[in-house]
Amino acid sequence: MNKHQIAALTALGLALTNPALAEEIRSTLDDQKSVAVTIYNENLALIKDQRTITLGSGQTTLAFRDVSAWMRPETALLRSLNTPGKLSVIEQNFDFDLLTPQKLLEKYVGKTVGVVKTHPTTGAETVEQAQVLSASNGVVLKMGDHIETGVPGRIVYNDVPVNLRDRPTLVMSLNNGGAAQQDVELSYLSGGLSWKADYVAELNATDDKLDLSGWVTLTNTSGASYRNAKLQLVAGDVNQVKEEMDFAQPIVAEMQAPAPAAKSRMAEESLLEYHLYTLDRPTTIAENQTKQVALLSAAQVPVRKELVLNGNNYYYSSSYGDLGQKIKLGVFVEFENKESNKLGMPLPKGVIRVYKKDSSGNAQFVGEDRIDHTPKNEKIRLKLGEAFDVTADKKQTDFKRMPNPGKSTYLFESAYEITLKNAKKEAVTVTVQEPIPADWKILNSSHPYEKATSNTAVWKITIPAEGKTTLTYRVQVKY
């Protein structure tokens, strides 16, 4: 067999298709009129793909190509927009095994292929028939009366298996009682599409206001592209009854400069007990792409900074003495999500990254925290880190067990000294929070306190610049 004969055989093998494929009607993205994508928080999306197709009358087969590779086929619904009720689906198959050399070889296990060999000296090519015995971790071929491992030449296949496609395809057997040309919509749920909110905040010089920008980060690993899509996002925890699926979650949003004025970039509305955000323009979500879309921006949002020393409840029922030196204080900022603060939009859960300009005017990262879905008019409290210049020394100065006031009742009395030190050049106020267990009362205290909850005493202590303040108190606890 000469080179021309072998080339013809190869071309014929690649051109031949399964008879079932030859009879089907194919719909591609060229037929698409519009697509709408609604993405939920937990790697779930609702796709609505509208196309104009031409069908034969009666039973026909439609190959709806370029759907998501992570489609949940049990959720697929095809309907005619022109003649509702006259187009029905009899059977459907989801072909997501994509055509690659390895997949093609795997489909031919137990079948016969042609192996084209080239003579190393003359360059002449010959074709020998071989049976594929295995395609796992290499190839095993039976050629005549011997076994070959590896690929001894170029492999020629005589057709492409019916369930092996170059793009994810939903194949439907239809019964069409309507017009030949009609608009249809295929809707389905899919994995491989996710979104998350990222926020960038910049504190002012006095730490009492911040500028806030919100970004939506979309990640598409679904195996399909969505051109000029109507994009909607659902924030909230939607219950799903489904098998677990694992999807890649790359990307952290880049810092962007906050906009100078409050503005919502996506329309927001309530949906059942969730919130729906709609982008005001079409956008293309390409395959294997991460995209960022502006969500909101607000300037000069009032904020309150707080330094907090949190205690523990274990030392109120036993003798401990020294409780720590140079204890670090948490740094928190808090603001309210309300219209009077130039916000007032339900905020999807995400990470808020906070920056502040140094003396040269360069924005420096000062901490980040994660927020949950936050309704309108709720407080947002962020822990940015731990203070460097403000520390605390803490000790138990007295402990004694008092006579039991009753059967199975214990009474303890203890005293404490907390020395708060400030190395800054300006005075600071520290919030001391002590979780005190059981039935308690403070017998005396050097500073006023508030019983914030049933088990928490709170002091607000002012420390002078480059100075220190000592808080002492005595407490009685009854178990």
Of 244, 253, 189, 188, the C-alpha closest to 219 is 253
Q: What is the pLDDT of residues 377-429, one digit of tens each?
A: 999 999 999 999 999 999 999 999 999 888 888 999 999 999 999 999 999 99
Number of domains observed in the structure of the chain:
4
* pLDDT bracket for residue 191 (50, 70, 90): very high
Give residue for tokens 């909850």.
453
CB atoms within 10 A of CB 373: 17
Are residues 144 and 23 part of one domain? Answer: no
Q: For residue 116, what pLDDT is reported?
A: 87
Q: With b meaning 16 or more CB within 10 Å and e meaning fewer, what string describes 444-468?
A: eeeeebeeeeeeebebebebeeeee
Residues 175, 26 share a domain: yes
Residues 121-134 have pLDDT tens digits of 888 888 888 898 88
| For residue 169, pLDDT beyond 60 | yes
Residues 92 and 203 in one domain: no
* Together in a domain, 416 and 269: no
**Same domain as 180, residue 73:** yes
Q: Are residues 125 and 209 in the same domain?
A: no
What is the average pLDDT across 151-167? 78
Q: Which domain holds residue 439?
A: 304-337+379-478
Q: Which of 146-155, 357-366, 455-464 comes out lowest in average pLDDT?
A: 146-155
**326 Rama class: left (phi>0) / alpha (psi -120 to 50) / beta:** left
Report the SS3 class of residue 14: helix
Report how far residue 46's alpha carbon sits from residue 37's, in angstroms, rounded to the nearest whole number. 6
Q: What is the CATH number of the domain that holds 120?
A: 2.30.30
384 in the same domain as 282: no
Whether 370 is in a domain gets the answer no
pLDDT for the residue 54? 94
What length is written for the chain?
479
